[in-house]
Chains A and B, each alone.
Chain A
Amino acid sequence: AQKITQTQPGMFVQEKEAVTLDCTYDTSDQSYGLFWYKQPSSGEMIFLIYQGSYDEQNATEGRYSLNFQKARKSANLVISASQLGDSAMYFCAMREFNYGQNFVFGPGTRLSVLP
């Protein structure tokens, strides 16, 4: 079964606007972490932000914030004030701390920032 779903294969956003990238997940583990990674065309995987399942506050890191809705099992990434350099693939990932601790990735969303 698909553990991470990203329903937006591609997204466009105007420079300086905010954009939300969707991620839903499936787990029966009570202890897990949710991660977002950015992969530019150069291929490197860049860690952006982390949310723990027990964290009550939504995570924020600079222009990135994670909209965590535990009951809905969603962990959407919000990028504020988009920049041209934000154009990349974005992957949502989950780590189940009681079930093997592996990182499972979604299929990704390609974000294109328009000037």
Chain B
Amino acid sequence: GAGVSQTPSNKVTEKGKYVELRCDPISGHTALYWYRQSLGQGPEFLIYFQGTGAADDSGLPNDRFFAVRPEGSVSTLKIQRTERGDSAVYLCASSLQGAGEAFFGQGTRLTVV
């Protein structure tokens, strides 16, 4: 498809487990963003990639969160030792470098039980 694709759409995991969330951006978009959204709130910035490198990771809440984008396209957000407070919708977006709006995926709803 032509849009941003996120998998899985839903993920339920036990507290303490490791999870990976995948984002496949729009082809040709060099900028990729991860956000976390809790119910009734605005998207909270986590990390921004320009190409393969993390241009800004100041939003990652702690060292349990890590993201990669090894070939400058698909990105994976990794969460270690998940906690119940990590439960949220994780949104991925992509855009052209230096211009234009961000296009969002449908999100991954993560539930930590």
Contact = CB atoms under 8 A, between A and B. Distances in A.
Interface of A: 4, 35, 37, 43-45, 47, 50, 91, 93, 95, 97, 100-108
A53 B91 CA distance: 26
Given A97-B98, A101-B31, A101-B55, A107 B41 contact: yes
Contacts of A37: 104
Contacts of A100: 48, 55-56
A97 B91 CA distance: 22
Interface of B: 31, 33, 35, 40-45, 48, 50, 55-56, 89, 91, 93, 95, 97-98, 100-104, 106-107
Given A100-B48, A100-B55, A102-B56, A45 B104 contact: yes
Contact of A102 (B40, B45, B107): B45
Contacts of B95: 103
Contact of B101 (A4, A50, A105): A50
B33 A103 contact: yes
A100 B102 CA distance: 14
B42 A108 contact: yes
B107 A105 contact: no
Contacts of A105: 35, 42-45
